Structure 1
Amino acid sequence: METLRKHVKRDKYLLIIILPVILYYIVFHYFPMYGIIIAFKKFYPLQGILGSPWVGFKYFEQFFGSIYFWRLLKNTLLLSFFSLVWGFPAPIIFALLLNELKDNLFKKTVQTVSYLPHFISVVVIAGMIVNFTSPTDGVINTILGVFGIEPIHFMNDSGYFRTIFISSGIWQEFGWGTIIYLAAIAGIDPQLYEAAQMDGATRWHKMKHITLPCLTPTIVILLILSLGHLMDVGFEKIILLYNPATYETADVISTYVYRRGILGGEYSLSAAIGLFNNVINLILIVGVNYISRKVSETSLW
């Protein structure tokens, strides 16, 4: 306790700075975990969480036996998987390309323009997508019309939803994700590049044998974090874009929870579905972290 007191006294200003973050996680992440128990109860608001009767795994069985279970699971995994496959390498490639630019002014301008979409509201992004894909006056259909192609109702065709959702997500986030990789590249010892150049290495060789290996720990950590959120799809944008005509490919676990829990008032069922979703995420992040630690000796813990 004496050692703890000395450390607190020594680092009191740092602790004050981090205090809002700690309070945020306690209030909005740890304290609400108390409500998880309604997944195992038939929740009645008037009786409260503790007063509601226990029903065990009834709502889990109801969800697993639902005709929507496999569709929701498939859509969630496919959207997350393809977003990861196409979206994860994008900032890495862009960071490597930016690093090769010699004109600092042009480099900073491109970087600034690339991460500006990150600050655009999801509502605005959804509105832009709807306007661009409009069958009457949308930019995309206007261009297709020049080539004699009939207007396509993109937002009412389930076959286009995944492409629109994933591509718009990459456009919005790849520039922002580049910042981390550029910071990691900036930390690479310049003497490595100088030594490689003296040995006759080309820019491609330096990228392949110096930049990428030095970026590997950062890439592995971010990949683990991304896989830990594999079941978390950006449901806000999905809710703004989807409709009953695109449920076949657009409806995911989080949107189903929203409809059944918030709109339908089935709090126990939605809590059970949400808990299932989070357990899968936990298993993924622990498993991937374990594999990464064994294979590459780089891990979160």
Structure 2
Amino acid sequence: MPSPPEDKDWNDISYVIGGFAWKARFMDKEGYILTGDKFRQYNLANQILKTASTWTGYDASKTPRKPYTCGVCHTTGWVQSGPEGPHQNNLPGIYGVWYADGVTCEACHGAGARHASQPEQVQLSIEENCGDCHRRGNANKIDASNGLIRHHEQYEDLLASPHRYIKCTACHDPHQSVKYQGNGFKGEQNTCNTCHTETVDSIAAKAKFQCTTCHMPRVAKSAVSVKHQAKIGEIAEGDVRSHLFRISTDPNWKMFTDDGKFVRINDEGKAFITVEYTCLICHTNKDQEWAIESAKRIHK
């Protein structure tokens, strides 16, 4: 971000939260997160959605100072406390303490001091624990808002998908980013096509579409979203890909609950992406009936 919030200078800011790929939020000099209806969140430009960088509000309904409690996923060695402390750097707005800023090796592998001195005797963890952070609240519910899945819901997505028993590392290199050509995604030849060999020769493949184009549409939002004007009405597109994979061709299935707060899940715990997001977000002049019939033929 080029500057701090409009009504502040850098001397008023203790920490910046985020600032990579999607957005940045700000903590005042006592460690409270700045909230308000404008100039509280900086959204980075998004080349895919063609949105420019912009300032927006954040938690305008909250009090002007919101305690920082997000360290479990944004720091290493976080220990939650409360208003009574202890507080990182003695800043009363930070309800906890941490060992290192950001997500370092030890955030996933555990403390490494003893391993460094006794590598043969003291082993670090190599258990996958992505779901500790890429989730929100109840893992059996996928939170939604304003027609899109809320951010860091990938673990809940996966549990409601056909890939619930596949590890994240089957598709991701956890030491690389999926943003800015970071090679965090291993590529479809090393992931989708290793199992779904029968679907490679398809209409989609001939059109040079990727599996992720339709099976992982951007139906989640971290910072920004856009609205597409379609024949059936407005369709939202977010800045984070879904990990639900399964597409529904049931004309009566609705992706979100009636109150819009969650992704709809059936009695078997399965969730589905509907054709509005897989087909009609591009084929804006078509209707649901066309999309459903076309989707049934896409791999035949």
TM-score tier after normalising by the smaller chain length: under 0.3
Kindly indicate whether structure 1 or structure 2 has the higher relative contact order, using CA contacts under 8 Å at least 6 residues apart: 1
TM-score under structure 1 length normalisation: 0.25
Higher strand proportion: 2
Higher helix proportion: 1
